[in-house]
Structure 1
């Protein structure tokens, strides 16, 4: 496992997936700058708008971390060096998390730094950091299943951006609300909302649990696929 972690750390530092880090920070800082001095009804939600942009970069980083190796053929060398495939996937998940955490904490912290502290604001900030980690893992798990960067990125981005638009077209309000509770895309708004939370389809931690379930499911299916398929 240590060898797998060292190998993946080297690739994470030098590979294209590292480009997601400045993109994530830029998105969050842009939202913070745009929100300065704004007296919105929910200033926390406004400050965290950058999370909606940053999730695409994090998802792409998670996808590329594995699917990029399939695209170049490097995966064969990787599997020769780390033949235990569950160790490989675990190492990639661990280092992806380690890469996202400090940048997400910094970006979210800057975004909400000038707001008065409170339980709701701290919950929204912490939830946004965890959400970004889970989205990266969702991308990694999806990549392990489909092995294509383009297809995996398309699937995750469709879940995050296209699915909410599709749900708005559901004519029945009860069905629409039920479906909102099952999709990971609505969590980003739910987590950032600190005003009139009773109108939300579900609570923030329940929404985060839905995202965690999607990520865990993608990783579990990805692990099964990785172990059963040839490189």
Structure 2
């Protein structure tokens, strides 16, 4: 019963936060729109048919995930950061002293909402792109779609973790965006091929985005599912650290 009460409380807080629905709607719209735009960039001369196309059209259709993940990061940060900024975190922890239960319930609620919105976003992107440029529908496409949805969920949990650790909305968003976008750029600027390979293999986003590839898998620096596992390790690991810090310090 305590867990049900905690889940209900976190669901109530999340659904009454105005930014939640705007961010989720924007995630769906941005993922679909960017994916359709990316697909339309290929002409019929380049891809006369799915079989004759050398481009990874599925990965191209899911390009929008690279942008919409920032919205999911912000959603995760605000779910905890809003409570710290308004001081309502004290009320939450007074009503529900089990701090691990509070954080776990918040993570579960966020995962559910982002999972639904992410699945809708990914399916919309693939459907729109398919109308523009027919793409194969097979196991690799299903893996790319499921993995892209999981990327959005894990990035949301990453935002929650950073907000729990830093207790500062602006700082958590800035650090999170650095992880998502700055580190991948730096990995391409490193002169050493060895370190470039290591950064692309073991930093969250370059590794995780390998899940979207459906062609030329042998050229990837890390296989699709292990790559997604790297992001999962960061998100879950930081969530565990955040839960420990939340439990040990004052609100």
- Which TM-score applies when normalising by structure 2? 0.88
Q: Whose radius of gyration is greater, 1 or 2?
A: 2
Structure 1 unaligned spans of 5+: none
What does residue 111 of structure 1 align with?
125
Q: Is the 8 A contact 1:159 1:184 kept in 2?
A: yes
**Is 1:28 aligned with 2:42?**
no
What does residue 190 of structure 1 align with?
210
Residues 154, 73 of structure 1: CA spacing in aligned structure 2 closer, same or farther, 3 A cutoff?
A: same
How many Å apart are 1:188 and its aligned residue? 4.5
How many Å apart are 1:61 and its aligned residue? 0.5
SS at match of 2:202: coil
Q: Which runs of 4+ in 1 moved over 3 A?
A: 35-40
What does residue 74 of structure 1 align with?
88
Residues 49, 221 of structure 1: CA spacing in aligned structure 2 closer, same or farther, 3 A cutoff?
A: same
How many Å apart are 1:17 and its aligned residue? 3.1
Aligned with 2:98 (options 72, 80, 84): 84
What does residue 195 of structure 2 align with?
175
Q: Is the 8 A contact 2:39 2:60 kept in 1?
A: no
Taking the aligned partners of 1:203 and 1:36, their CA distance within structure 2 comes to 24
What does residue 11 of structure 2 align with?
9
Q: Is the 8 A contact 2:58 2:212 kept in 1?
A: yes
How many Å apart are 1:35 and its aligned residue? 4.2
Matched residues, number: 231
Within 5 Å, which residues of 2 pair with 1:1-231?
1-15=3-17, 16-36=19-39, 38=42, 39=47, 41-113=55-127, 114=130, 115-231=135-251
Taking the aligned partners of 2:199 and 2:209, their CA distance within structure 1 comes to 15
Q: Give the superposed CA RMSD.
A: 1.4
- Which TM-score applies when normalising by structure 1? 0.95
Q: Is the 8 A contact 2:200 2:207 kept in 1?
A: no
How many Å apart are 1:96 and its aligned residue? 0.1
Taking the aligned partners of 1:207 and 1:229, their CA distance within structure 2 comes to 34
Taking the aligned partners of 1:120 and 1:97, their CA distance within structure 2 comes to 24
CA displacement 1:70-124 (0-9 Å, x = unmatched):
0111111111111110010011000001101111111111211333311211111
